Amino acid sequence: MQVLKFGGSSVADATAMSRVLDIVSKAAEKDKVVLVSSAISGATDLLIKASGSSEEERNALLEELKKKHFKIIERLFTGREQFDTKESIEQIHKRLLEARRDDYQAFGELFSTTILAKKLAYEGLDTLWIDSVDLIRCKMGSVDKEYSYKRIREVVESHPEIRVFVAPGFIAGDENAQICTLGRGGSDYSAALYAAALGANTLQIWTDVPGIMTTNPKEVKKAQTISRLSYQAAFCLASHGAKVLYAPTVAPAQEAGIDIQILNSLDPKQKGSVICDYPAREEGEWIGIAKRVCGDTAELALVADGKIAQQSIEDVRMRLNKRDISQLEFRDEGNYLLLKVPVSQALDALATLHYFCFEKDDYRKVYLAGKGAVGSALLKIIAESDANIDICAISAHECEDEAFFRKMMEEASPNSIFVDCTDSESIWKWYVPVLEAGINIVSSNRRALSVPYAEYAAMKRSARLSRRFLRYETTVGTALPVLFSIATSAASSDEILSIEAVVSCTLNFILTSELPFAQALKKAQEIGLTEKDPSQDLLGRDATRKLLILAREAGVKLEEKDIEIEPVEEDKVRSNQRFVASLVKDDSSALGYKASIRMKEIDETHPARSLKGTENMIIIRSTYQPSPLIIQGAGEGAMMAASRVLNDILR
Ligand code: ASP
Ligand code: MG
């Protein structure tokens, strides 16, 4: 036995009813069906209105309702069948005019199911309309299941020839067998009672949404269909305001061990939702949010399947705090969180919770290597920002931490990002495997990008093939948009004529400090500008790395051996000099460019004359730019570097 229930919108008009008839006829090919239907949409509301109206107005309203049904009949039936069906509706209409006003609301289901039953019968199916008033009995306001189940079974068993039973939802009989109702939205409940009584193997609730959703899609666009959820979670959502299901429906189905399928009559192929004995897992997960408004407070129930970790609950609270949402109440109810917020903040709270719990795909998953100045600053900025970033793992080690990489690669997804804030010489060996595993890379590690050209090219290639990004804007000129500017020229066939990079923070500091060289160098070392071994800076090691990165960004396959380096000689340094790494177009060289790093005298008119302290400057000349592009600004600072790394993560 299958029980199929259709809501008001699924039988709203002739087109909708035809869809229902299709679905039911197909189902009846497999097994017997009990078709439970609501009134056509709006009918119950209209009947309730009529029950409180003046005689004249009542007559008009009830006439209007009859006409609506006639219109459906005129489209679904012809000839004698149309005449007969209209006649049946006319009879019900007469009874309605004579009924007690309290009973009006029960008539909507009589109209709709009469039409459905007639149509199925005319189509040749063995159909029987059964009277829910007689079969479902209420005692002191609740359903007498024992009696009702027995009656339902008796009637169904006494009609073995019948293929489709058609039953009105929502209505039942009271102790005196007088008509009563099961509460607004009660047709779902009727269906569950029929299913439980008959031990049905299928219970389908057909509606006009794709299923039970993570929240009301009218309020949060990104609401998703929940494919499976437990009876408990479904009950919890339904009893806290989710309109898709009438909460009392859950109990009969659960007691009888019948799954409840929620399906979309507008798109029957969709999978919908299944409410079942979903084993509550040890590590629970959020399943949906129901919202209900009481006066000027909104109550949000964030429902879970299984037990939610305390940390997740704290995270929810933190998210709301960050958005300044006042929590009038925040209660952990075991399998759900009950939140009360001012109505004015309800939609914001709903969107925030939904985003946090169900739109995690938008989150960047960051795996950070290196907890030095930049790494630590990055963690701080992320913690303070609103950015949707999950820090999945941190490796404090400067070199390879196998476990860290293994975890990252196991969890790889298109939104995973490996962030290298180390200054490891060897960590670059991981770049290709990481990219190939489908993980993006953001690096502030200059050493990793200034490896031999073949290795660099392999990284770029892996990134391209696996469609992941490899970003390293901070490796030269920290926060200055240097690489971006060069890459833009290179990509738009604007040939680079020269790049002059005054990017050594150490030397810029020394040269502009007006202190004697040795003293200035010592100070630079103290404030952490220099390499661990400051002679590296004087030998141009750091400048070499930067120049390699710059040149390659411009499309030049520069290697270290191609760079002419004149180390800084302490006693020859004068303040009208700058330490310049340059790349100049030169057709006589095999590469097409000449690269050098040296102290250069610059006259008063040279832009680098204006540099102060640790500032950096890059001067780019290209064919189409009539005057050079000059990028100047602060060249160091952990917070600044970190914010630029964050930009690489997010952009
Ligand atoms: N027709 C009734 C109502 O509008 C019952 C139902 O649709 O489930 O409440
Ligand atoms: Mg309903």
Answer left, alpha or beta for residue 272, where phi above 0 means left and psi between -120 and 50 means alpha.
Answer: left
Q: Which residues contact 418 (CB under 8 A, 6 or more apart)?
A: 367, 369, 408, 430, 434, 439, 440, 441, 442
Q: Does the CB atom of residue 168 touch ligand 1 within 6 A?
A: no
Q: Measured in angstroms, how far is the CA atom of residue 283 from the centroid of ligand 1? A: 37
CA of 322 to the centre of ligand 2 (A): 37
DSSP string, 331-353: EE-SSEEEEEEEGGGHHHHHHHH
Predicted confidence (pLDDT) at residue 263 exceeds the cutoff of 80: yes
pLDDT value, residue 512: 87
pLDDT of residue 187: 97
pLDDT category at 392 given cuts 50, 70, 90 is confident
What confidence tier does 284 reach under pLDDT thresholds 50, 70, 90?
A: confident
- pLDDT tens, position by position, 602-644: 888 899 988 888 899 999 999 888 899 999 998 888 899 999 9
Q: Is 445 in the pocket of ligand 1 (CB under 6 A)?
A: no
Query: Do the beta carbons of residue 388 and residue 337 sit within 8 Å?
Result: no
Q: Which of the 8 DSSP states describes residue 614?
A: T
Averaged over 550-564, what is the pLDDT?
95
pLDDT for residue 399? 62
pLDDT at 280 over 70: no
Q: How far is the CA of 12 from the centre of ligand 1 (A)?
A: 12
452 Cβ contact list (under 8 Å, min separation 6): 559, 560
Question: pLDDT of 451-503, one tens digit each?
Answer: 999 999 999 999 999 989 999 999 999 889 999 888 887 778 888 999 999 98
Mean pLDDT confidence for 221-250: 94
Ligand 1 geometric centre to CA of 168 (Å)? 10
Ligand 1 atom 8: the closest Cα is on which residue?
185
Ligand 1 touching residue 44 (CB < 6 A): yes
For the chain, what is the total number of helices (H) and then of strands (E)? 23, 27
Angle at Cα 250 formed by Cα 249 and Cα 252, nearest 5°? 80
How is 202-258 classified by DSSP, letter by letter?
EEEEEESSSSSBSS-TTT-TT--B--EEEHHHHHHHHHTT-TTS-GGGHHHHHHHT-
Q: Is the confidence at residue 510, as pLDDT, over 70?
A: yes
DSSP letter at 394 equals E
Q: Please tell me if the CB atom of residue 8 comes closer than 6 angstroms to any atom of ligand 1.
A: yes
At residue 619, φ and ψ (nearest 5 deg) are -120, 120
Q: Is the CB of 169 under 6 A from ligand 1?
A: yes
Ligand number, closest to the Cα atom of 39 = 1
Q: How far is the CA of 105 from the centre of ligand 1 (A)?
A: 9
**Cα 182 to middle of ligand 1, angstroms:** 9
C-alpha of residue 473 to centroid of ligand 2, in Å: 55
Given the DSSP bridges, would you call strands 440-443 and 416-420 parallel, antiparallel or unpaired? parallel
Examine the pLDDT at 360 and tell me if it is beyond 80: no
Is the CB of 207 within 6 Å of ligand 1?
A: no
Ligand 1 pocket check: which of 40, 187, 245 to mutate, most ligand atoms within 8 Å of Cβ? 187
**Nearest bound ligand to the CA of residue 208:** 2
Most confident of the following: 152-156, 353-357, 599-603, 618-622 = 152-156
Residues in the chain, total: 651
Q: Give the per-residue pLDDT at 215.
A: 96
Predicted pLDDT at 361:
65
Q: What is the pLDDT of residues 170-191, one digit of tens each?
A: 999 999 999 999 999 999 999 9
Q: At what angle do helices 55-76 and 43-51 cross, to 10 degrees?
A: 160
Closest ligand to Cα 11: 1
C-alpha Rg value of the chain to the nearest Å? 37
- What's the confidence (pLDDT) of residue 279? 67
Is the shortest distance between the CB of 184 and ligand 1 below 6 Å?
A: yes
Name the residue with higher pLDDT: 347 or 532.
347
3-class secondary-structure state, position 316? helix
Ligand 1 center to 207 CA (angstroms)? 12
What is the percent of the chain with per-residue pLDDT over 90, rounded to a whole number? 74
CA distance 213 to 247: 15
Confidence of residue 413 (pLDDT cuts 50, 70, 90): confident
pLDDT given for residue 4 in this prediction: 98
Distance 204 CA to ligand 1 centre (A): 16
Please report the atom of ligand 1 found closest to the CA of residue 109.
Answer: 1
- Residue (of 276, 263, 289, 273) closest to 230 by Cα position: 276
Give yes or no for residue 39 CB within 6 A of ligand 1: yes
Lowest-confidence range among 172-181, 249-258, 347-356, 387-396? 387-396
Domains present along the chain, CATH in parentheses = 2-208 (3.40.1160.10), 285-358 (3.30.70.260), 364-474 (3.40.50.720), 482-634 (3.30.360.10)
Per-residue pLDDT of 37-91, as tens digits, reads 999 999 999 999 999 999 999 999 999 999 999 999 999 999 999 999 999 999 9
Q: Check whether 395 has a pLDDT greater than 80.
A: yes
User: Is 164 or 508 the better-scoring residue by pLDDT?
Assistant: 164
User: Could you identify the atom of ligand 1 that is nearest to the CA of residue 184?
Assistant: 9
Pairing of strands 616-622, 629-633: antiparallel
For the CA of 7, the nearest atom of ligand 1: 7
| CA-190 nearest atom, ligand 1 | 8
Q: Which ligand is nearest to the CA of 41?
A: 1
Residue 398 has pLDDT above 70, yes or no: no
Task: Return the best residue to mutate from 37, 47, 184, 265 for the ligand 1 pocket (most ligand atoms within 8 A of CB).
Answer: 184
CA of 588 to the centre of ligand 2 (A): 81
For residue 514, the SS3 value is coil
Q: What are the backbone angles phi and psi of residue 13, rounded to the nearest 5°?
A: -150, -175
Tokens coding 474: 């901070």
Average pLDDT across the chain, whole number: 93
Phi, psi torsion values for 195, nearest 5 degrees:
-65, -45
pLDDT band of 282, cuts 50, 70, 90: low
Give 541-584 as a 3 state SS string: HHHHHHHHHHHHHCCCCCCHHHEEECCCCHHHCCCCEEEEEEEE
Q: Between residues 471 and 390, which one has the greater pLDDT?
A: 471
Residue nearest to atom 6 of ligand 1 (CA): 185
Q: Which of 41, 45, 170 to mutate to test the pocket of ligand 1 (most atoms within 8 A of CB)?
A: 170
Among the atoms of ligand 1, which is closest to the Cα of residue 246? 8
> How do residues 135-151 score in pLDDT, each as one tens digit?
999 998 899 999 999 99
With a 6 Å cutoff on the Cβ, whether 187 touches ligand 1 is yes
pLDDT at 412: 87
* Ligand 1 atom having least distance to the Cα of 108: 1
Q: What is the pLDDT of residue 29?
A: 96
Confidence of residue 319 (pLDDT cuts 50, 70, 90): confident
Determine the pLDDT at residue 259.
97
Q: Where is average pLDDT lowest: 9-13, 386-390, 395-399, 513-517?
A: 395-399
Task: Tell me the average pLDDT across 254-283.
Answer: 88
